[in-house]
Amino acid sequence: MAAARDLFDNHGFHQSSMAELATAAKVSVGQIYRLFKGKEDIISAIVQADADERCLHMDALRNRLDAGELTIEQTFEQLLLHIVDEKDEALSFDIMAESFRNRPVGDTIAAMCVRFRRYIRDFACAANPDLSGEALDGAEEVVLACLFGLGHRSLSRPCLSATDTARLSARMIVAALRAIR
């Protein structure tokens, strides 16, 4: 998996062959096929591993929020610090392009978003317990978009550091959630 991430990120998912992956991972092509049906299967496993890791992190944050160890603003700040400037960006864009052309990859990404949306909804309600109905639906949509955009902000070559971005964005998100009804 680590070798696949590196190879696909540097050279592109479609431009990399199983033979190249076997060389990079120092295994035989046969050994890869014993674990994965093909490249698409490796991609799905990468998305799954990333989703699991992020959900674990959001789960830990939600527990600390519930225990009163973090304010909601600190919770968003920690979440954003984890997301801003993510790794393997070229690969993640390859995977997203693939999700439109390859139904199973699209389904894996959509399932990941369903899991993220649940946490976002909980955090939105923690910021503003009066949120409900379409205001809550809208908040879920905007916060998800915001997290996605901040995770991929490196494309725009920003001046603001990751820590400043996380701090200022958390403040803005909580302010927005409290200002709507």
The residues that touch its own copies, with contacts defined as CB under 8 A, are: 10-12, 14-15, 89-91, 93-94, 96-97, 99-101, 106, 109-110, 113, 116-117, 134-135, 137-139, 141-142, 144-150, 152-153, 155-160, 164-165, 167-169, 171-173, 175-180
- Tell me how far, at minimum, the Cβ of 51 lies from its own copies, in Å: 12
**Assigned token pair, 176:** 């927005």
Q: Which is nearer to its own copies, 78 or 169 (CB)?
A: 169
- Coil, strand or helix: which one is 18? helix
Q: For residue 84, what are its two tokens?
A: 């801003």
61 vs 147, beta carbon nearer its own copies: 147
Nearer to its own copies, 70 or 77 (CB): 77
In the complex, what is the shortest distance from the CB of residue 169 to its own copies, in angstroms, rounded to a whole number?
A: 5
Nearest distance, CB of residue 101 and its own copies, angstroms: 6
Among residues 180, 37, 56, the alpha carbon closest in space to that of 104 is found at: 37
> Which residue, 64 or 117, has its beta carbon nearer to its own copies?
117
Maximum pairwise Cα distance, the chain: 58
Half-sphere exposure of residue 164: CA atoms within 13 angstroms, side-chain side: 4
Nearest to 96 by CA among 58, 152, 134, 35: 152
